Structure 1
Amino acid sequence: MQLCKVCSEQTPKYKCPACEIRYCSLPCYKRHKDLCLPVEKLPPNAAKDAVCTVADTWSIEDLLHKEDIADVVPLENLQLLGQSKELKDLLCNPHLRELLRAIDSANNKEEAMKAAMQEPLFVEFSDQCLKVVEKEDP
């Protein structure tokens, strides 16, 4: 059974025309519309040929600035993020990628993160990231 992507409680009855997530009610739509990021439509035959890939173009140094970090995660644990099949699978979702882009480009990243944490998909992504980096070595 599918659940509403906004509240994760009810069966969805509607689909957002812009990003195609499924939601159950007007209140859920109103919560969602502030974070909605339209998904680009692929031509019908392009979907067959599309393969989700995660670019390996960033280094850890590109992503982190020491003055911005309150908690430091060991480099070895951060490198595990790139090896996680679960994270790569989640990143195949265009809605999640758009949420991440919106946070990255936001002027107020703290507010953008608070808003994103209302999206079950983003919560699932952040939980998976934490699970990977907090893994204890045997």
Structure 2
Amino acid sequence: MANAPCTVCGEAAKYKCPACEARYCSVGCCRAHRAEGCMPQAQPAPPAPAAQGTANAGGDNDGNEKGDEEEDAKHRLRPEDLQRLDGSARVKELLADPCNRALIEAVRRDPHPLQAIRALRQQAGFEELARALLCAAGSEDTQR
């Protein structure tokens, strides 16, 4: 994967961060990456024992899944939301930052992305990105 770009300078990367797998090309870029606040990848949660799945026998697992799908649908972006995001200079500026891209990748890989987002929103840089995304998408929920 020597053709993958360095997350710091964009040159061809030869190495990857053992914590978050961000790519870098030199010791200097590695130090810069760590100084930006490397976000270790979350380890996948171990599978739940089979006994836990039967504890709720006769329960409402199907109802919970349907409720989750409905909740997800309420928060999906519509085409017009995506157009507003695409036209936002501030969002583009924040997404150009390699640190923000690494944080988004860490959320994408996390088995519990909502928990990861909540934890990352304690960081000023990620909170700025989150607010810019919500604002650009026209969300009324910018106070979280």
- Please report the TM-score for the alignment, with normalisation by the length of structure 2: 0.47
More helix by share: 2
Specify the structure having the higher radius of gyration (Cα): 2
